[in-house]
């Protein structure tokens, strides 16, 4: 289907339809003991240029703190990453660097029914010619503050990505947390 440019009389291909991401896998946690969620490639994302993980996480913690960070590692937890963040809550803004690939603050599951929300893009997932880049937009409504975050991470290796591991930086992932992996195919 094409659309016309009106007076010019030319037509161009119609833009890609909304929802051009393919759902590849979903994991929903049923208990509070999961130390990580892992997606393994095994050909799953071989035909995709970019991946997206849509998360609604909660952290299981018995302590008095109200929120923790979600970590996303590619292949292993020992690689070197450069990570940056910009966050705001309507009255304050902060920016800086993180010591690892930590994305957003997720509420702790200590009596709350709140979940965080993170949309994480992993760009050029199959490229072995450059470092893999991740970017995330997330937010949470924690009992002590509401934040929206824009974050990025560069994974300093050109190795093929074979696994994506999602963990809590401080504790375990909580029951009801949902992680959905989507792929975006390269344009023809």
157-168 residue pLDDT tens: 899 999 999 988
State which residues of the chain have pLDDT below 50.
1-16, 18-19
Name the residue range of residue 171's domain.
21-183
Query: Within a domain: residue 67?
Result: yes
Question: What pLDDT, on a 0 to 100 scale, did the predictor assign at position 119?
Answer: 95
Q: How far is CA 29 from CA 7, 32, 33, 36, 131, in A?
A: 55, 8, 9, 10, 31
Residues in the chain: 188
Contacts with 150 (C-beta within 8 Å, 6 or more apart), sequence order = 85, 86, 87, 135, 136, 137
Flag whether 8 is in a domain: no
How far apart (Å, rounded) are the C-alpha atoms in residues 182 and 188? 19
Instruction: Output the pTM of the full model.
Output: 0.83
Cβ(80)–Cβ(98) below 8 Å: no
CA distance 8 to 131: 43
How does DSSP classify residue 34?
B
* Rounded distance between C-alpha atoms, residue 173 and residue 119, angstroms: 17
Q: Is 15 exposed, middle or buried (0-12, 13-18, 19+ CB in 10 A)?
A: exposed
The answer to whether 155 touches 131, Cβ cutoff 8 Å, is yes
Number of domains the chain is built from:
1
Structural domain contains residue 6? no
Mean pLDDT of the chain: 81
| 79 falls within a domain | yes
Assigned domain for 10 exists: no
Tokens of 4: 């016309």
pLDDT value of residue 62: 59
Residue 153's closest CA among 174, 131, 124, 168?
Answer: 131
pLDDT for position 3: 44
Q: Is residue 9 a part of any domain in this protein?
A: no
Q: What is residue 65's predicted lDDT score, i.e. its pLDDT?
A: 58
Phi, psi of 83 (to 5 degrees): -130, 140
């Amino acid at each position: 289907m094409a659309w016309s440019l009106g007076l010019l009389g030319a037509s161009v291909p119609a833009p890609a339809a909304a929802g051009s991401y393919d759902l590849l896998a979903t994991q929903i946690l049923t208990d509070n003991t999961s130390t990580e969620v892992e997606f393994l490639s095994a050909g799953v994302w071989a035909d995709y240029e970019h991946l997206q993980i849509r998360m609604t996480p909660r952290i299981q913690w018995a302590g008095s703190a109200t929120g923790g960070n979600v970590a996303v590692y590619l292949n292993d937890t020992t690689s070197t990453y450069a990570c940056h963040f910009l966050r705001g809550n309507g009255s304050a803004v902060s920016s800086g660097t993180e010591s690892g690939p930590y994305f957003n603050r997720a509420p702790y599951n200590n009596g709350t029914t709140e979940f965080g929300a993170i949309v994480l893009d992993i760009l050029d997932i199959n490229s072995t010619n450059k470092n893999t880049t991740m970017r995330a937009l997330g937010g949470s409504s924690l009992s002590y503050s509401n934040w929206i975050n824009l974050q990025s991470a560069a994974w300093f290796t050109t190795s093929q990505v074979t696994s994506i591991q999602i963990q809590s930086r401080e504790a375990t992932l909580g029951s009801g947390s949902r992680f959905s992996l989507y792929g975006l195919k390269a344009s023809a």
